[in-house]
Amino acid sequence: GENVEQHPSTLSVQEGDSAVIKCTYSDSASNYFPWYKQELGKGPQLIIDIRSNVGEKKDQRIAVTLNKTAKHFSLHITETQPEDSAVYFCAASKNTNAGKSTFGDGTTLTVKP
Amino acid sequence: NAGVTQTPKFQVLKTGQSMTLQCAQDMNHEYMSWYRQDPGMGLRLIHYSVGAGITDQGEVPNGYNVSRSTTEDFPLRLLSAAPSQTSVYFCASSLSGTLYEQYFGPGTRLTVT
């Protein structure tokens, strides 16, 4: 089955700096890659997603890049703010098994004011 | 819309007891799923449903049962609770499978002693 590895497990940055979280996946058939943000005591919430026919997607301070050849995708957060502090999860899914998605183990991001 | 609701928020069980975690959504989503989240690990899929009357196993189904008699509800049953089932449980729904945004409930924190 699919295996998703996420790095780093913890990340600490100063307010205003950029943060990058990387995920690799094993199944070349995977074609949907969402990123979720989980704040303390809450359920995960989608912040951005990308499909395999696109190499990059941006939404204000957040961007995701996808390298299908290398089977990795990354989350980029620019101009970080204290409210960006949370746990971030990547995931991968594919058409032929749309009932299942595989999540990475999560990255705890701390933005220091 | 209330989105995805889960009850209870917290539960303590003794080993061997059974209970049902409730999940409901009011978005008319076809797809619903149950995940467990353990410290340092990502979200692991327990069971999922692609529509009323249809359920299937995820990555870690042992010790859990589900049913989907209506589009709105997707309860998770623990048959005979074990300490290994101590975890935070999240229910999620989406328009159609994991190739679209999944909306997560607030979670149920379960402790089995």
Predicted confidence at residue B91, as pLDDT, reads: 98
**Is the torsion defined by CA of A44, A47, A51, A56 positive or negative?**
negative
Confidence of residue B58 (pLDDT cuts 50, 70, 90): very high
Most B-contacting residue of A51, A64, A100 (CB-CB within 10 A), to test interface: A100
Fill in the DSSP letter of residue B73: B
Average pLDDT over chain A, rounded to whole? 95
- Taking alpha carbons only, the member of A82, A35, A30 closest to residue A62 is A35
pLDDT in tens, B47-57: 999 999 999 99
Task: Collect all residues of chain A within an 8 Å Cβ-Cβ radius of residue B107.
Answer: 41-43
Nearest Cβ partner of A93 from B42, B59, B99? Answer: B99
- C-alpha A106/C-alpha B7 separation (Å) is 25
**Sole residue written with tokens 């089977």:** A71
Task: Collect all residues of chain B within an 8 Å Cβ-Cβ radius of residue A1.
Answer: 59
Phi/psi region, residue A46 (left: phi>0; alpha: psi -120 to 50; beta: rest), is beta
Predicted confidence at residue B98, as pLDDT, reads: 85
Lowest mean pLDDT among A3-12, A16-25, B37-46, B64-73: B37-46
pLDDT in tens, A52-97: 888 999 999 999 999 999 999 999 999 999 999 999 999 999 987 7
Confidence of residue A40 (pLDDT cuts 50, 70, 90): very high
User: Is residue B5's pLDDT more than 90?
Assistant: yes
Predicted confidence at residue A1, as pLDDT, reads: 82
Task: Collect all residues of chain B within an 8 Å Cβ-Cβ radius of residue A99.
Answer: 31, 33, 48, 50, 56, 97-98
Nearest Cβ partner of A105 from B41, B45, B50? Answer: B41
Contact between chains at B56 and A99 (C-beta distance less than 8 A): yes
Predicted confidence at residue A30, as pLDDT, reads: 94
Nearest Cβ partner of A103 from B31, B42, B101? Answer: B42
Angle at B11 (CA atoms; ends B55, B43), nearest 5 degrees: 50
